[in-house]
Amino acid sequence: MKIDRNAPVGVFDSGVGGLTVAREIMRNLPSEKIVYFGDTARVPYGSKSKETIIRYSRQIIRFLQGQQVKAIVVACNTASAFALEEIRNELDIPILGVIEPGARVAAQETKNKRVGVIGTVGTVGTGIHEDYLRRLDQEITVIGKACPLFVPLVEEGWLHDPVTIEVASRYLRELQEKEIDTLILGCTHYPLLRSVIRQVMGDDVRLVNPAYETALELGRLLKEENLLSAGKEQEEFPYRFYVSDLAEKFKDFANSILPYDVEMTQKIDIERF
């Protein structure tokens, strides 16, 4: 199959979290167009079963393929943990997730070899970050902690609220006691809580946002496959956003965090795919 190098990259998440990855792609690969899908009708993914997340991911990928994307970024740790390996072989375009890039940065950064991972119940339950980290360095100890209330707090826009600080203090206390020096933000929603997490963990713990490394990895992959775009100047909507519910709310949120004025957000019926 001949893939069009000027086609957009598909990026998806359960909601707004994947925008943290889209933002890094916009900054680091400015010639690339993006079709983003946020599954706002079915968020959160983190408390659902593997079978359900695989089914959702397949539907979204079918939708993105209908948009003629040339590559797919699974901008969701839960879907990366549950569905990526299962789905990779079904596709004839490149696909990458967010877990391996994050683990790579953490392995480079840690000095005392004690790494914390926060994520959804689903992601932390798989132990997938630990698998990658231990493959990179056998001496690393990984301490995982699920923070299920973080995603609804982010979707609600409570990024700096006293309630969020209280919740973060309770979740993160355990990690503070374990003397980690590096903490992977293992859910794409969590970088939006970075200042709260920083406040609770203090300045000595390095916070790893896998989004930046994922964007660089995408660039490497596209280059390898000869799929880097020649430019997006002529496009009316170089970044297009689709959701499964509440398009206006999503648009307002996206506009508050992206270095781009989001005009096109459309609701689609994902169950059709």
Catalytic residues: 76, 187
Residue (of 190, 192, 90, 111) closest to 147 by Cα position: 190
Task: Give the shortest CB-46-to-ligand DGL separation in angstroms.
Answer: 3
User: And the tokens for 114?
Assistant: 């004690």
Task: Give the shortest CB-35-to-ligand DGL separation in angstroms.
Answer: 18
Q: Does 10 bind ligand DGL (CB under 6 A)?
A: no
Q: Does 151 bind ligand DGL (CB under 6 A)?
A: yes
Q: Does 45 bind ligand DGL (CB under 6 A)?
A: yes
Q: Does 43 bind ligand DGL (CB under 6 A)?
A: yes
Contact (CB, 8 A) for 262 and 241? yes
In the bound state with ligand DGL, the residue whose beta carbon lies nearer, of 7 and 11, is: 11
Q: Does 76 bind ligand DGL (CB under 6 A)?
A: yes
In the bound state with ligand DGL, the residue whose beta carbon lies nearer, of 26 and 187, is: 187
User: Binder to ligand DGL among 7, 8, 12, 17 (CB under 6 A)?
Assistant: 17
Total residues belonging to the chain: 273
Task: Give the shortest CB-79-to-ligand DGL separation in angstroms.
Answer: 7
x/- map, 179-198, ligand DGL, by CB under 6 A: --------xxx---------
Place of tokens 């980690």: 180
Task: Give the shortest CB-72-to-ligand DGL separation in angstroms.
Answer: 15
Specify the stretch interacting with ligand DGL by CB under 6 A; choose among 12-20, 108-116, 130-138, 162-170.
Answer: 12-20
Task: Give the shortest CB-77-to-ligand DGL separation in angstroms.
Answer: 4
User: And the tokens for 79?
Assistant: 């879907």
Q: Does 44 bind ligand DGL (CB under 6 A)?
A: yes
Q: Does 19 bind ligand DGL (CB under 6 A)?
A: no
User: Binder to ligand DGL among 57, 59, 110, 123 (CB under 6 A)?
Assistant: 123
Residues in contact with ligand DGL by the rule CB under 6 A: 13-14, 17, 43-46, 76-78, 119-120, 123, 151, 187-189
